Amino acid sequence: MEMEQYCSLSVRDLNKRFGRFSSDVWALRDVSFSLPKGTLTGVLGHNGAGKTTLLGSLCGSVKPTSGTILFSGREISHAAELRRLCAYMPQPHVPLRGVTPVEALCCAAGMRGISRRRAVRLTNDFLGRLDIEQYSHVAGENLSGGCRRLVSLGMALVQEASVILLDEPTNDVDPIRRSRVWKILRQEADQGKTILVVTHNLDEIGSVADNLLIFDCGRLVCNASPRQLTSIDELIRIEVNTADPSLVLTELAATPVLAEDGRLRYVCSSEQAKMLLSRLNMLMGDEPELSFSVQHGTLREAYERIIDVR
């Protein structure tokens, strides 16, 4: 409990079940983690893994079946208080028909009790940082999907909440503005905000996140930094070029991740890599056109390995 007092957000044994019969769906199973203040955390997992249900539970829109949610070491059980403590950006677009970006952000700030003067200043700041100030006074129904997504993000950021929950904030957003979004989120975390982001953009979140939570079938199966993920078992990638893939496949007691155009890719631990490399060196005497390269595994490969192992 003492450690949890130093964490902005903690979850203990969180469960969520939909339904009341044998065919019930457990969206969350025994989920526990703690997030220190001023950190950016990515939430990863296949569709239906429980990511959106987690954010809904934290912001008060989904009532957990059991478990405990704590803010700065204090247990919070009422939905209204959860909503007060968190700013939440949902996955669907926020309805903006007849509302301009300036009005939407000012309204979101005002609902937090932020003064009109400060709300306007914050609104202009975030519209500029998100590079959508040129659409400030355009009605929502006339905005592109990407711009509406950025307005939704701005509505969450402008609230100045200490905990910010974002569900796929870069969906529909162009590459340049996506890069801006990740930079802004990193800056907000560095200024003391605790940010939890659901995303499928592994490479992008891996470059800015302090930590990654990986979910599979409602369970938290990995809680580690991007660097820790790629160093689990010292993940190694071996790429083999050969004119006769069948020879390599027969001789190596391992299954390649990718096999096309004569190139075989193996992703394995350092111990497995030693055995594969020893065998490949022996095969080079029988297959003069055989060559291979060795690299550290990528974040995507680490993610796929964690999910596939299960």
| pLDDT interval class at 237 (50, 70, 90) | confident
Q: Which residues of 144-174 are buried (b: 16+ CB within 10 A; e: fewer)?
A: eebbbbbbbbbbbbbbbbbbbbbbbbbbebe
Q: How far is CA 85 from the centre of its chain?
A: 21
Model confidence pLDDT, tens digit, residues 43-96: 999 999 999 999 999 999 999 999 999 998 889 988 888 988 999 999 988 889
Q: Which pair of structure tokens corresponds to residue 4? A: 């949890």
| Integer Cα distance of 222 and 207 in angstroms | 18
| Residues β-bridged to residue 164 | 87, 195
In this structure, CATH architecture of domain 231-309 = 2-Layer Sandwich (3.30)
CATH number, span 3-224? 3.40.50.300
Mean pLDDT rounded to a whole number for the chain: 87
**Distance between CA atoms of residues 159 and 195, nearest Å:** 13
Predicted confidence (pLDDT) per residue in 187-219, tens digit: 999 999 999 999 999 989 999 999 999 999 999
pTM for this entry: 0.83
In 3D space, the residue among 67, 78, 64 whose CA is nearest the CA of residue 17 turns out to be: 64
* Short-list 162, 140, 151, 158, CA closest to 58: 162
H or E stretch including 184? helix 175-190
> Which residues touch 134 (CB under 8 Å, ≥6 apart)?
none
Residues 96-127: tens digit of each pLDDT? 999 999 999 999 999 999 999 999 999 999 99
Predicted confidence at residue 24, as pLDDT, reads: 79
Q: Which helix (H) or strand (E) holds 192?
A: none
Of 304, 231, 307, 302, nearest in space to 270 by CA: 231
Helices 101-110, 145-157: crossing angle, 10 deg rounding: 20
Helices and strands, number each (H, E), in the chain: 11, 14
pLDDT of residue 234: 66
Taking residues 243-257, what's their average pLDDT? Answer: 67
Measure the CA–CA gap between 201 and 203, rounded to whole angstroms.
6
Residue 155, pLDDT > 60, answer yes
Q: Where in the chain is the domain with CATH 3.40.50.300?
A: 3-224
Give the pLDDT of residue 77: 84
Pair of tokens at residue 255: 């299954």
- Is residue 10 within 8 Å of 75, Cβ to Cβ? no
| pLDDT > 80? residue 23 | no
Cβ distance 71 to 7 under 8 Å?
A: no
Which part of the chain has CATH 3.30.70? 231-309
